[in-house]
Chain A
Amino acid sequence: MLKIIIPTVMLIPLTWLSKSNMLWINSTMYSLMISMTCLPLMNQFCDNSLNLSMLFFSDSLSTPLLMLTTWLLPLMIIASQHHMPKEPPTRKKLYITMMILLQIFLIMTFSATELIMFYILFEATLVPTLIMITRWGGQTERLNAGIYFLFYTLAGSLPLLVALIYTQTTLGSLNLLLAQYWIDSSTHIWGDSLLWLAYMMAFMVKMPLYGLHLWLPKAHVEAPIAGSMVLAAILLKLGGYGMLRITMMLSPTINFMAYPFMMLSLWGMVMTSSICLRQTDLKSLIAYSSVSHMALVIMAILIQSPWSFMGATALMIAHGLTSSLLFCLANSNYERTHSRTMILARGLQMILPLMAAWWLLASLTNLALPPSINLIGELFVTVSMFSWSNFSIILLGINIIITALYTLYMLIMTQRGKYTYHIHNIKPSFTRENTLMSLHLVPLLLLMISPKIILGTTY
């Protein structure tokens, strides 16, 4: 794992010592090369033996997330190039350094063996993200957004720290490779429920669960594009990854503790999808759709069946790529009209046809069109939810319909119809933007061919 971490750390001197005109090129190119070094990890053995050291390991759950993380850094750097040209070089380098620092913490988080190290790095990812949102966001609401983001996550995760230390003192070690052998089926006391809650609330806030999701629209909307991309694609998945790792230690308390969260997720999924239909702010629409997709992941993890774990993992990767792609598309609108209001940039198909193709593909994957991996995720989750409880199909079906509704609403609003008269003098699409969109879509479409690498541990 050091062969990925050390080059990422060395990207920081690369950023600070580059000449100003080579800054973006250098960082993009080298971060792309680092993502290539992550690919050989995909060769997973079925006995989970890819244990690289005492500190780092990578199994078939963490490898796709690692791959997504390393793939996203060059994309974030490409996306940030446009709104930074007037800043002094020091500030540009600081911005890229924040992204690289976040990347280092994320790589170490996904490959951590020891749960306390996972916790420390999980918290550590908050600091660069907070700095990116607050320092480089656009509007005054970003201050509030940063505070909500920081404090919701911290208030959820401090009980997690206490719970982890308690488990370490009672069980002896928190090494993840050993934890899978400790399923405890003895009689349970009510304190076990509190322990379960302490473990799960941190990840529930991060996912986010419907009742605790207030930070997400604020943070996503106010963040600059790189911040939005990394928030939507990776940081939400940290919650899902944590839950997937920890639930193997927590059964069977989960059987009865899961019900309130299942209800919140089922209802919240439908609610947030419905809210999307009434949004005027494009980024806010995509943020609420993230909440809705992640509610599916929460439900899948809570019912703990092999199919649902496969669906959760596939959905996480697919949603990461799709959501990040949608944010990039929304940002390309924002850079032209300097407004996030959807109706100010309508009828773009006439003016930017290639961008309309990317919008179409992004919308199609967002509404889980077969045979994309989004569909695989949602389908596995729906099927396993049906076997858990027959009635949930009603709400899941309603959610799928409303997802299709708001995605098509977004597509038709921005692309079709008559364009507004103030939009005819926007700049045409840059090659950089087309590269960005295609780099998002190519993994998404190629994974259709062999989705088994993203199906996680229970494949």
Chain B
Amino acid sequence: MTEEDSSAKMSEDVERYLKLNPPCSSSSSSSAVAFANKSGTFKSSSPPCPEHVLENVLESVLQFLTSRCDRNAVSLVCKSWYRVEAQTRFEVFIGNCYSLSPARLTHRFKGLRSIVLKGKPRFADFNLMPPNWGAQFAPWVVATAKAYPWLEKVHLKRMFVTDDDLALLADSFPGFKELTLVCCEGFGTSGIAVVANKCRQLKVLDLVESEVTDDEVDWISCFPEGESPLESLSFDCVESPINFNALEGLVVRSPFLKKLRTNRFVSLEELHRLMVRAPQLTSLGTGSFSPDNAPQGEQLPDYAAAFLACKSIVCLSGFREFRPEYLLAISPVCANLTSLNFSYANISPHMLNPIIRNCHNIRVFWALDSIRDEGLQAVAATCKELRELRIFPFDPREDSEGPVSGVGLQAISEGCRKLESILYFCQRMTNEAVTAMSENCPQLTVFRLCIMGRHRPDHVTGKPMDDGFGAIVKNCKKLTRLAVSGLLTDEAFSYIGEYGKLIRTLSVAFAGNSDKALRYVLEGCPKLQKLEIRDSPFGDAGLRSGMHRYCNMRFVWLSSCVLSLGGCRDVAQALPNVVVEVFGSDGDDDDDTVTGDYVETLYLYRSLDGPRKDAPKFVTIL
């Protein structure tokens, strides 16, 4: 529910509550006393202490506050409000697992039911961080197992999770309902099997872009017999075969199943069988979308009929090894689709056209650049409700062909005026196209452009891409996330600092001329929380210019820049609440990798509990 909805509901409920117990005088404390007496909460003969009464009132009111920003604000009002807020917070979000210790969490919050925990910074996804850096789930599961036996939901991103951790989770939380692992690693199918087997109330098991070791365990068979409460099961990232009959049996006994994302080991015939068993699905990951047997001309399953029967499907993904001749089978659901993910399918414009021209309601569209500018034009012509577009490179190398360009970007900007979020990989771009997007799509909150050729200028004018990105920050007043690329001078960063007042996340690679660029950003962007920079000419002076900001940021990452050990140490000494980690790109060295003065990677983040104790040898904490 939106912010407005929840606060409206809150005031509605509060009003209703007060009407039942109208205050008998205008004074707040006596009315609170009257209110408390009528509600019969207090059994003591003497009038209850006003403080307790106020806390009870607050408690009743606060349960309607779900936004963590609101709750954080509430907790700062006074000690009593801090206490009550801590008692009534049921879901906690920890953006950096090293910003506090598990002990601090369990000490402050006594009633948590749901935990969202994020570990490694995003650049770890691109091999810029040596393995075994940290972000282990283990200490968290141990602490929460003791403190919150009623825990229902765990959502982890970029954490290192072991099978033992999963086993402990499954053993410790009898009412456990939702497990979501995004970009995690360290576990295998045996850990998943334990969760499937022991968490009898499991509604959600979502494995998203995680690395799951194949322990050759038939985990699907480990779900208990009988009716299953499963509502969502996603295993499209699991790179090992599954027991299909067991999956089919599970689906049959899961009447509440709405989301099912299968992996590429599920063939088209098998998908068909699943769809027939679960016509109530709203979100379907289609697996390989390829038949097991070469078509021999015998009676083929009617795939289109299966899609026709699944009237509720609004989200489609998968297509991991798709066969083009079967793509049209999805046609019956196109008009209802709000989300379509073709990003694992080498789809040409010719294949895309008959599909996309019926997708009038699409809000989220992910695809490979194999759809070319032509395909993007088709999207622009039909998908007027598009909010999020992601175009990934089919051939992710710097010197590959580049089938999408400013032409496609401009077409999208002209056709999809409600666009809010875009991720676009290309080989070449023009300032004109980027500027056009900034003018046509003022609702943009996320603009991530990756011109894969490093330092590539505008391919028509030969100028840097400064003006394009400048237009984005200037015209897109709601922009909170920006990733820049191409040839960029310090001027681009001066624009970002001048106009990017709401930017929370900034990604920079191979850009800028000098420390001025970094200074512009650190001095100009008050909302900046996450700054990730690689291979840019920023040094100690630039780093120093952000001293006043680091305590208010989630993290700063600088790799392959021009930092010296001395410069990093200055920051560490000046800011005791900030942990400054320095390490090299390969984790093999057992001794201090920091040879000489050059710093390969700097990763700094605020922390309430000082430097972590689990840092591997190749990490130096200054």
Chain A complexes with chain B: no
Spell out B's residues near A (CB within 8 Å): none
Spell out A's residues near B (CB within 8 Å): none
